[in-house]
Amino acid sequence: MDFLGVSGMHYSGVSLKGSRVIVAEDSAVFTSMIKQRMKELLEIDVEICRDFEEMQKANETSDEEILLAISNMNLPGAEKGEALNYLVDVGIPTIVFTGTLQDATRDKLLANQIVDYILKDSVFAVDMLVEAACRFLTNHHHHVLIVDDSQTARALLTTRLKRYNFKVSVADSGQKALEILKANRDINLVITDYNMPDIDGFELTRRIRSHIGSNEIRIIGVSSSTDRLLSARFLKAGGNDFMLRPFIDEEFYCRVNQNLDTLAQMKFMLERKKRA
């Protein structure tokens, strides 16, 4: 499959046909819309579970792995959120599709490693849901390198990225990062801290850019510093984006996606130009 998917995302050579996805939703309107769009855009025949019992059966009566669950907050037979607790307990990655979401509930979902949440608050909600599903199911094709001398910072970023199904490598220094990049040509995103003892984030970015352009690898700089000029210095060194810690989960994932989408579009245009 070679296509421009939802919201212009480009996936070359990626087929999602046969991916096992369940939709736990009791609304006939939404299940019909989701089933149709997932089939049209991703060639996936989703399994519909209209209550908690059907969802349990879908998981427990088949040996085929469920790659992703799309679930309402509450289902018949699980009116107090038991369905989400079950999905988390059995380790099924889950996107929540819900009509309302309070701040406290949002914090609880992210603490439980829910992949994402989509609100049923617009006519575009189903397409946003399909986009989120498509990203999760294809993120393993993206290899991300985290560069940070702090073990805690590396662990937090690794957890975030693996929640979204990315392939992740880590480096505790700039020199180690360069060695990993040389040995792993499939890395297409580097997330690097600024303040490191051997090679700081600026110098690492310059060294990467001396060999690899923005059409092959995107670089996001990160820092806990309050120096507002850091972002400008990262961009001037060849970086593509910059974020301040502590991250907001939704913004972090959005910025990662935007950089990977830009990279994919650039590669797509270059490939099309070569074929012309």
Query: pLDDT of 17-58, one tens digit each?
Result: 899 999 999 999 999 999 999 999 999 999 999 999 999 999
Q: Which of 105, 138, 171 is the last residue of a domain?
A: 138
Residues 14 and 119 in one domain: yes
State percent of the chain over pLDDT 70: 95
pLDDT band at 273 (very low <50, low <70, confident <90, very high): confident
Residues 161 and 124 in one domain: no
pTM of the entire predicted model: 0.92
pLDDT tens figures, 77-103:
999 999 999 999 999 999 999 998 999
CA 177, 182, 184, 186: dihedral to nearest 10 degrees?
100
Assess whether pLDDT exceeds 50 at residue 3: no
* Per-residue pLDDT, 1: 39
CB atoms within 10 A of CB 40: 10
The β-bridge partners of 116 are 95
Residues 65 and 42 in one domain: yes
Residues 75 and 170 in one domain: no
Residues 151 and 40 in one domain: no
Residues 15 and 129 in one domain: yes
Kind plus residue range of the DSSP H or E element containing 160: helix 151-163
Q: Distance (Å, rounded) from C-alpha 138 to C-alpha 14?
A: 8
Q: Please say whether the beta carbons of 25 and 48 come within 8 A.
A: yes
Domain containing 88 equals 2-138
pLDDT tens figures, 186-222:
999 999 999 998 999 999 999 999 999 999 999 999 9
Structurally, the chain folds into a number of domains equal to 2
* Per-residue pLDDT, 8: 46
* Per-residue pLDDT, 2: 43
Residues 155 and 247 in one domain: yes
**How confident is the prediction for the chain on average, in pLDDT?**
92
Assess whether pLDDT exceeds 80 at residue 170: yes
Residues 93 and 60 in one domain: yes
* Per-residue pLDDT, 228: 85
Residues 36 and 153 in one domain: no
Assess whether pLDDT exceeds 50 at residue 4: no
Residues 88 and 106 in one domain: yes
Assess whether pLDDT exceeds 70 at residue 246: yes
Residues 38 and 85 in one domain: yes
Per DSSP, the residues of 83-115 read HHHHHHHTT--EEEEES---HHHHHHHHHTT--
Q: Which of 123, 138, 153 is the last residue of a domain?
A: 138
Residues 131 and 149 in one domain: no
- Domain holding 24: CATH number? 3.40.50.2300
* Per-residue pLDDT, 6: 52
Q: Which of 138, 154, 185 is the last residue of a domain?
A: 138
Cα 9 to the chain's mean position, in Å?
13
